[in-house]
Amino acid sequence: MKLHADYSQRVVLHSPDLPWVESPMPGVHRRMLERDGDEVARATSVVRYAPGSAFSPHTHGGGEEFLVLEGVFSDEHGDYPAGTYVRNPVGSTHTPASREGCTILVKLWQMDPDDQTRVVVDTAQAPWLPGLVKGLEVMPLHSFGPEHVALVKWAPGTVFQAHRHWGGEEIFVLDGVFEDEFGTYPVGTWLRNPCSSRHTPYSREGCIIYVKTGHLPTSAVSLSGVA
Q: Would you place residue 37 in the very low, low, confident or very high pLDDT band (cuts 50, 70, 90)?
A: confident
Q: Would you place residue 40 in the very low, low, confident or very high pLDDT band (cuts 50, 70, 90)?
A: confident
The CATH class that applies to domain 129-213 reads mainly beta
Q: Would you place residue 223 in the very low, low, confident or very high pLDDT band (cuts 50, 70, 90)?
A: very low
What SS3 string covers 6-45? Answer: CCCCCEEEEHHHCCCEECCCCCEEEEEEEEEECCCEEEEE
Phi, psi of 8 (to 5 degrees): -85, -5
The 3-state DSSP class for residue 163 equals strand
> What digits encode the pLDDT tens for the residues 160-207?
999 999 999 999 999 999 999 999 999 999 999 999 999 999 999 999
Q: What angle do CA 158, 163, 166 make, to 5 degrees?
A: 140
Dihedral sign for Cα 58, 50, 76, 67, please: positive
pTM of the model: 0.93
Domain assignments of the chain as residue spans, ordered by start: 18-122, 129-213
Does domain 18-122 bear CATH number 3.40.50.880?
Answer: no
Q: Would you place residue 58 in the very low, low, confident or very high pLDDT band (cuts 50, 70, 90)?
A: confident
Q: What is the DSSP letter of 99?
A: S
R_g of the chain computed on alpha carbons: 17
pLDDT number for residue 56: 85
Q: What is the DSSP letter of 72?
A: E
Same fold, 18-122 and 129-213: yes
Phi, psi of 16 (to 5 degrees): -60, -15
Phi, psi of 15 (to 5 degrees): -60, -35
C-alpha 79/C-alpha 44 separation (Å) is 22
C-alpha 3/C-alpha 17 separation (Å) is 16
Q: Is 217 exposed, middle or buried (0-12, 13-18, 19+ CB in 10 A)?
A: exposed
